[in-house]
Structure 1
């Protein structure tokens, strides 16, 4: 375990943004996206757990004021949230003014409270009708995407400080390679539609995990797999934005001019590194046995704290400003979250000192929410009672709130919220 009690005091740049992130389908409840469909939802959640439907999730559709109170109690000045396409256009060509007004009310309240808005237009979920048409698996659906954005963007534009067109279009578990490459064009089209109505910075949130060869960089097979997966999950997107060229192994390259330069900043979600074992059919291994710890009862994917991934990522992405749009850990023992936040922010601060232009950090997640098929992985800074939906700020949330208030932390702040390092020995007792 990292000895965070030896960390030096850190301060962040003036005007640094401190935030928390959510996604509508994961917190609102009764969302009616394809994730809620008996026909279309997957049978199993991430990690092979039986699929559990979101149902009322955190009931944030009704309790959004409670979420805003949490943000204020933690001194946060940024909220990354999504508006859900399936609510606004439940049937093709039919726009629901009542649902739009609901989102406008939330956006107005955030502005009244002095909280900047980072708005995601597509956070994995979309309407059932769009899913049945093949969603992003074909470019033939571009007109549907354009019509939705032309409807919603001008109506919410005045409230948005940062735009996210698509969330994690690079995820191999969610999208095929064809879909990922198509989504680069959907992103580009979204960028240009937004720019018709808003001068605020636009990006798409990229799920970044460092791909490392399990046996080290001298092992040619492991390194080959690490480089291959890095290109098909990371570099294909960065290359397209920087050059306009959409490329991938075994695919004919395509130059799409309207894609070039369509990220005003890099929006980066990061949690883990991934070890690549070229000698296994199932080549993806998230951590070494020696660095793995048990954080929740059912293994998920964040059972390693590896802060150097933050530095390596930011050194790679120095050509634009960066907003960390997600970063967090699923853990039953909240002390791990305090350790994680401490370590990641130390690394983030060091990267800034080495020249990375980081404008803010938004933690995943504000709440213990529905996590794509299960309520088991707890990422939240606050718990949510599954029966009453009462929110309770965790110790890690209080710690994070004090960091935001002080624009940094020192040992005095840290030791108020963590007396000793957590031990896996105590896992069964927590």
Structure 2
């Protein structure tokens, strides 16, 4: 397997997230929501993949694959577990993580908010709180003061468009009702009128949350740039490759307008925009079309379509007009042969988009290892490595070798 020639400075990486990997994120909103009754979360995160302790050997896995970039998130709840009090232990940990990346030839791509926030912030109403943007910018400034001189790219928010996207995902109504019940239970348990979070959101809050996160992105970017003007800053968006079949143009365009376009237009003032793509959906005059007979289906119930990455990247660039970082891309499946066969044609399609004029900074596969997938718990499998839930031993899947081989060939290693 070989790839067409990519630029010499192209970033080849994997992506992970703090709460999904580190474990024991006890001061976070998500931890609190996992542990109320009722809860929409199928599992509690617990020790996750024990990444807080195993970070050095995890970096060795990344470097051992021949990659040159690693995307991870810093956890606001660890860094500021109590409002206005910043943890020296957490800051030292993330500083060591950044230095560990650099020592292994990995460019650190740092996400400042990957869905989770501190418990105290959720008690204030999260992004509905008028002070939220300033509080987020203060935290970003503290992180930058400690390690910002050594990171490669800064991602303020991970998938702020996901709540709107999920309204198109045909989730059962009981899930929506359980989300409401979870937040009601959390509000009661926390002794506040409205406990709110970034990854369990009520529809009536969408507009206010979007306003808050938009302002927070701008203020955070200003805080980051004030400390390092040359550091590229952007945000990452969940993006399906939405395709119009015969008569489906109006539905496709309505989805794009509802889900992506606000954020893509905001990104016009940024240095890049992250694209996170997992599927292609085809629309007809009456909505989403079913898979073709015999199609290979992913964990979302849609066909596995490697060309979806090209389509999502091209649309993002057509609106935002700034360079693209593929900040996540993968496939949810128990069958790793599907994943192993999915990577090369996806990257060929990405290169075709680049050859057609789309500037792409790099590609990060989601994810390094099977982990905690939010409300779905430990069921979905998207990792290049499996993880023993008792010992936390990481075992490479064939797809890890496939990706490593493709990257080594592309990098001439």
| TM-score range for the pair, normalised by the shorter chain length | 0.7 to 0.9
Q: How far did residue 350 of structure 1 move?
A: 1.2
1:66 Cα shift?
Answer: 1.4
1:320 shift after superposition: 2.0
Deviations 1:126-177 (Å, cap 9, x if unpaired)? 1111112111134332232222222222111012110000100111244524
User: What's 1:187 paired with?
Assistant: 217
Would you say 1:44 and 2:40 are equivalent positions? yes
- Change in Cα spacing, 1:137 to 1:211, as seen in structure 2 (3 Å) is farther
Alignment pair present for 1:271 and 2:262:
no
Contact 1:35 1:53 (8 Å CA) reproduced:
no
- Write the mapping of 1:416-427 to structure 2, written as runs, cut at 5 A: none
Tell me if the contact between 1:271 and 1:302 (Cα under 8 Å) persists in the aligned partners.
no
Q: 1:12 aligns with which of 6, 11, 16?
A: 6
Distance in 2 separating the partners of 1:277 and 1:40: 41
Is 1:388 the counterpart of 2:391? The answer is: yes
CA distance in 2, matches of 1:25, 1:145: 18
Unaligned runs of 5+ in 1: 1-6, 46-50, 243-260, 410-430
* CA displacement 1:4-59 (0-9 Å, x = unmatched): xxx985222222211000000000000122221155697234xxxxx101100100
**SS of residue matched to 1:139:** coil
TM-aligned CA distance change 1:267 to 1:197, over 3 Å: same
SS of 1:90's equivalent?
coil
Tell me how large the CA RMSD over aligned residues is: 2.2
Q: 1:8 to 1:83 in 2, by over 3 A?
A: closer
Match of 2:266 in 1: 240
TM-score normalized by structure 2?
A: 0.83
- Name the CA distance, whole Å, in 2 between partners of 1:64 and 1:237: 32
Are 1:273 and 1:287, in contact at CA under 8 Å, matched by a contact in 2? no
Return the offset for 1:201. 0.6
CA–CA distance in structure 1, aligned partners of residues 140 and 37 of structure 2: 25
Kept in 1, the 8 Å contact 2:344–2:406? The answer is no
Equivalence for 1:197: 227
| 2:13 is equivalent to residue 23 of structure 1 | no
Structure 2: which 5+ residue stretches go unaligned?
A: 167-198
Partner of 2:303 in structure 1? 304
Residue 107 of structure 2 is matched in structure 1 by 116
Q: Structure 1 residues 355 and 277 mapped into 2: Cα distance closer, same or farther (>3 Å)?
A: closer
Q: Distance in 1 between matches of 2:394 and 2:353?
A: 34
Give 1:8-407 correspondences, 5 Å limit: 10-32=4-26, 33-37=28-32, 38=34, 43-45=39-41, 51-172=42-163, 173=166, 174=199, 175=201, 176-198=206-228, 199-213=230-244, 216-218=245-247, 222-242=248-268, 261=269, 263-276=270-283, 279=286, 285=288, 288-290=291-293, 292-295=295-298, 300-301=299-300, 303-316=302-315, 317=317, 319-373=321-375, 374-407=377-410
Report if aligned partners of 2:2, 2:406 keep a CA contact under 8 Å in 1.
no
> Secondary structure, in 3 states, of the residue corresponding to 2:274?
strand
Alignment deviations for residues 39-94 of structure 1 (CA, whole Å, 9 cap, x no partner): 5697234xxxxx10110010000000111111111001000000000001111111
CA distance in 2, matches of 1:278, 1:201: 41
Deviation at 1:225, TM superposition (A): 3.1
Q: Equivalents in 2 of 1:42, 1:341: separation in Å? A: 39
